Amino acid sequence: MTALVLLACLLAGGGGGAVTSSSNPSSPSSTPTLGQAAAHHNIRVGAAADSPYLSDNNYAAILGSEFSQLQAENEMKFSIIHPLSNGYHFSGGDALTSFAQAHNRAVRGDTLVWHNQVPSWVTNGNYNSMPLATILQDHITTVMGHYAGKVYAWDVVNEAFNSDGSMRSTIWYDQPGIGFAFMGTKYIEQTLTWAHAADANALLFYNDYGAETMNAKSDAIYAMAQDFKSRNVPLDGIGFQLHIDLSFDDPNTLASVASNMQRFAALGLIFHITESDIRLSDSSAASFNAQAKLYGEIATLCVQQPACKLFHTWGLTDKYSWIPSFFPREGWALLWDANYQKKLAYNSVLNALQ
Q: Which residues contact ligand XIL by CB under 6 A?
A: 73-74, 158, 209, 241, 275, 322
**CB count, 10 Å around CB of 283?**
12
How far apart are CB 318 and ligand XIL at their closest, in Å? 13
Using the minimum distance from each CB to ligand XIL, give the nearer residue, 56 or 227: 56
How far apart are CB 254 and ligand XIL at their closest, in Å? 22
Using the minimum distance from each CB to ligand XIL, give the nearer residue, 296 or 315: 315
How far apart are CB 278 and ligand XIL at their closest, in Å? 14
Distance separating alpha carbons of residues 326 and 308, to the nearest angstrom: 28
Of 66, 159, 189, 212, the catalytic one is 159
Task: Find out whether 172 and 162 touch, Cβ atoms under 8 Å.
Answer: no
CA distances from 21 to 26, 58, 181, 225 (A): 9, 24, 46, 32
Distance separating alpha carbons of residues 141 and 68, to the nearest angstrom: 26
Environment class of 85 (CB within 10 Å of its CB; exposed 0-12, middle 13-18, buried 19+): exposed
Distance separating alpha carbons of residues 14 and 174, to the nearest angstrom: 34
The verdict on whether omega for the bond into residue 176 sits within 30 degrees of 0, i.e. cis, is yes
Task: Find out whether 334 and 318 touch, Cβ atoms under 8 Å.
Answer: yes
Task: Find out whether 353 and 37 touch, Cβ atoms under 8 Å.
Answer: yes
CA distances from 259 to 218, 229, 253, 300 (A): 11, 19, 10, 14
Distance separating alpha carbons of residues 104 and 142, to the nearest angstrom: 24
How far apart are CB 320 and ligand XIL at their closest, in Å? 9
How far apart are CB 27 and ligand XIL at their closest, in Å? 35
How far apart are CB 235 and ligand XIL at their closest, in Å? 18
Using the minimum distance from each CB to ligand XIL, give the nearer residue, 36 or 172: 172
Is 275 labeled as catalytic in the residue annotation? Answer: yes
Using the minimum distance from each CB to ligand XIL, give the nearer residue, 66 or 73: 73
DSSP helix/strand/coil, 104? coil
Dihedral sign computed on CA atoms, order 175, 181, 185, 190: negative
Of 73, 189, 212, 275, the catalytic one is 275
Using the minimum distance from each CB to ligand XIL, give the nearer residue, 88 or 209: 209
Element (H, E) at 241: none
How far apart are CB 251 and ligand XIL at their closest, in Å? 26
Nearest by Cα to 129 from 79, 181, 188: 181
Which residues have a Cβ under 8 Å from the Cβ of 85 and sit 6 or more positions away? 121, 125, 135
User: Which positions are catalytic?
Assistant: 159, 275
